[in-house]
Structures are given as C-alpha cells and as structure tokens.
Amino acid sequence: MTDESENIIVAKFGGTSLADAGQIRKVADIVAADARRRCIVVSAPGKRDKQDQKVTDLLLTCWHLAAQKLHYREPLSLIRGRYDAIARDLGVSTLDEPIAEMECELRKLADGDESTLATRDWMAARGEYFHARLIADFLRATFVPAGECVRFDEEGRLAPVSYALLAERLQGPGRYVIPGFYGRDAAGRIKTFSRGGSDITGAVVARAVGASLYENWTDVSGLLMADPRVVENPRSIAEVTYREVRELAYMGANVLHEEVIFPVREAGIPIQIKNTNAPGDPGTRIVNRRDATEGPVVGIAGRTGFTAIFIEKWRMNQEVGFGHRALGILLRHNIPFEHIPSAIDSMSIIVSEEHLAGRETAVLREMERILEPNRLETHASLALIATVGEGMNHRVGVAATVFGALGAAGVNVRMISQGASEIGILIGVAAGDYERAVRAIYAAFERAGT
C-alpha cells in the first residue's frame, strides 16, 4: 500500500457500534460514504442497552465455567443467539460451524483434555474473530485473520514484525475487515491485548498501512473536557495532542484504550474519535501539535483513591541516594508511585490506595528503619486533579485561574505539582472535595472562554 497510502483511512468500530444488525447497517453506511475507508477493524458485539452483556464477557463466563467443569450451556446459547440474530437480520451466512468448533474445544476443556485450544485468551478472542467474519461477509470485504498478522514477542508485547505482516496482507485494492483485540504469541498461541484492546489493533493497522487517518468510531461524540458525571454538560474537545490525551486517559477518561497512542504517534497519524450514532458530529481529533486557538486548557481529569506518604528529613537535599532508598522500599513491596512532589527537606510519595492496601504498616516500618526520617506520615483519601493543556505552564494566569477558583470554592489544596512535562498542573485535594474542585476549575476556564 505504498502509492495509495495517503488515501487509506483505517476505521475501527467498537462493541456498541456493532452490537446488533441495526448498528452494523449504520457502520456499513459510514464505510460506504468514503472510499478511503479500506481497512475496517472490529470489536465483538457490545451491549445493546445498559442491562445487556458484552459477547466478550459471555465468552469469558463460558471459559470459567468449563474450566471448573460446570455447565456453560446458558452463556453459550446467548452467544449463539446474538450472532444468529445478527446474521439472519443482515441476510448473511450464520456462524454455525465456527461456533460448533468452539463448543467442541470447550467440551475438551471441561473434560480435562489438554489438547484443547480453549485457553482464556483464545476464548476471549472468538468474539472479534466471529464478528469480523460476519461483517466481512456483509460488507463484501476480505476477512483478514489477525492471528496470522498480529504477533506478540516473548515478553507479551506487540512484535514489530506485525507491521510488515499486516502491510503485506493488506496490499492491493479492495476492503479488508480485521478482527481487533488479539494476535498470536511467540509460541503460536492466540493472545489478546488487555480489555478494550481492539483500539490498539486499529492503531497498529493504521501504522502498518501508513494510513492518513485512524478513525475510532464509538458511541460518544469525542472526548469531553471533564467527566460528565461530575460536571453538567461539559464541552467536547475538538482537538487535542497525543501528549495531552495521555494525561487525560491516565486519569480515567476511558473513551480510548490508553495504549492506543503509541503506534500512531510515532508515525504522525492523527486519530479521529467519531460517534457511529451521530456521524455528522465533528468528534475529537488527536494530533501531534494543536492549534493554539483552542485555548491553554483542553481538559480536567481526576480520580480519588490516593495516599501521600510524607517523609521529612533534615538536609535531605545533601543525602546522596535518599530518593533511591525511599523508592527502593516501594520496589520491594511491588508498589508503583504516581508522583513525587518534593521540597528541600521533604518529599511526598503519592501512591494509589489500591496498591498500598495491606502493605502500609510494613512499608512505613521499613521507611523508619532505612531512612531515619524526622517525620513520617501518611495522608489517605486524596484525590488528584490534572488540569491539562500543552504549553500552559508558559502562560501567565493559568495557575492563578486554577488556584483562584479553588480558593473561591473553599477547597484546600493539599499538594501541587506543576509537572516537568509542562503539560498541566496537578493538584491533590481531600477526596471529599474532589467533585467541588473539578467543577470550580471547569467553571473558571469556561468563564475565561478557553
């Protein structure tokens, strides 16, 4: 796909975009509307409504039941029912044969037959595999088995050879449908990315074919400036950089899988998040560099559930290896850290409560012994809030707006870290103040028209 590569759009459709025949028809219209949409990456059928179950979850339920030699008939018939209904409604062949094969492998698993193919990942990947076959049939496109082209290395990371294999396979005219979420490991077994990983497959395919654009079709019209559960009706983000989106994703804005950026960022391929149910909405574009007119702040993201370990030691700045020893203690307890704001004689290590749970006493005891601090305290129930915007640290008044808003709202700021990345201001507040703080910051920037 060399000469024509400027003309290729890789379009990835998520589970809700493909949850039933009606949704798949919308997808077919979207694909047909632009001849450049040549590589279509699909998820397994997702939820049709709030009460519904994702096919991937049903597959995993089957696997767990079979592995424990329990009956898996019920979830299996739900899976079969989902694909049957879609195939019949769309007028394409049903998937009787591959589903029967899967049932056979499940039976082997339940019987303790070690020759079964049905590992947990193999089962989870069936959802995308079946759906890609069905959709390829409906779109009259070529089905590309991901197991042949997407490879993982010994450490379980994407193997770079995948790019060449995909490029080779996706050569020439026509349209291709590629199942997302899985590939094959170094030993030849089917292996999946983490949940939501079809987004990653889409990014890998985009890079492999040198696409001009990677479209990620989902059920929302792009990223929002703040969590809509906290801020009423937040504005959507028109344009955001890869770096900014990393900061926002890291704090829990889960429209995109957090690993999705890496394959496309290096190749400079923009990502466009679009809504299958409102294809006319502009959505959010993720680019290398954004237009300054968007304003200094693109989003406000945050989360509760952190603890700060505060360590004070006189002349800490002169003690060679102090930070190394402090972090070494966390390493021994297998605890990652989020941030380390520090001062001349003190540092705070912010860790998530989830990682610290059950290990706090041991960690503190070790810190007392090894670091011999003058003061050692933990502050639990902390929320972190990131106000994100590339280059904002150079702008006069951004920090003043954040702190002015928090002061006016009566929120006590417990920690400040204007990150080295110059991409945002991170503050820590008491968990109880979290929502009030996010609303205050959002409102302040909204007023300032950014």
Residues in the chain: 450
221 and 202 Cβ atoms separated by less than 8 Å: no
Closer residue to ligand ASP, CB minimum distance, 127 or 341: 127
197 binds ligand ASP (CB under 6 A): yes
State the CB neighbour count (10 A cutoff) for residue 398. Answer: 23
276 binds ligand ASP (CB under 6 A): no
Closer residue to ligand ASP, CB minimum distance, 197 or 296: 197
C-alpha span between 123 and 61 (Å, rounded): 10
189 binds ligand ASP (CB under 6 A): no
C-alpha span between 72 and 290 (Å, rounded): 50
CA distances from residue 248 to 162, 280, 364, 401 in whole angstroms, order as listed: 28, 25, 31, 19
198 binds ligand ASP (CB under 6 A): yes
Q: Give backbone dihedrals phi and psi of 96, rounded to 5 degrees, phi first.
A: -55, -45
56 binds ligand ASP (CB under 6 A): yes
Number of chain positions touching ligand ASP (CB under 6 A): 13
C-alpha span between 122 and 323 (Å, rounded): 43
The nearest distance, CB 54 to ligand ASP, in angstroms, is 5
Locus of tokens 């290590």: 349
Locus of tokens 């989020």: 338
180 binds ligand ASP (CB under 6 A): yes
Tell how strand 213-218 and strand 271-275 pair up. parallel
Among 83, 129, 152, 181, binds ligand ASP (CB under 6 A): 181
C-alpha span between 406 and 299 (Å, rounded): 16
The nearest distance, CB 69 to ligand ASP, in angstroms, is 26
43 binds ligand ASP (CB under 6 A): yes
The nearest distance, CB 206 to ligand ASP, in angstroms, is 15
54 binds ligand ASP (CB under 6 A): yes
196 binds ligand ASP (CB under 6 A): yes
Closer residue to ligand ASP, CB minimum distance, 196 or 428: 196
Helix axes 21-32, 73-90, angle to 10 degrees: 50
412 to 441, contacts with ligand ASP by CB under 6 A?
Answer: none
125 to 144, contacts with ligand ASP by CB under 6 A?
Answer: 127
Which residues are at the interface with ligand ASP (CB under 6 A)? Answer: 15, 43-44, 54, 56, 127, 180-181, 195-199
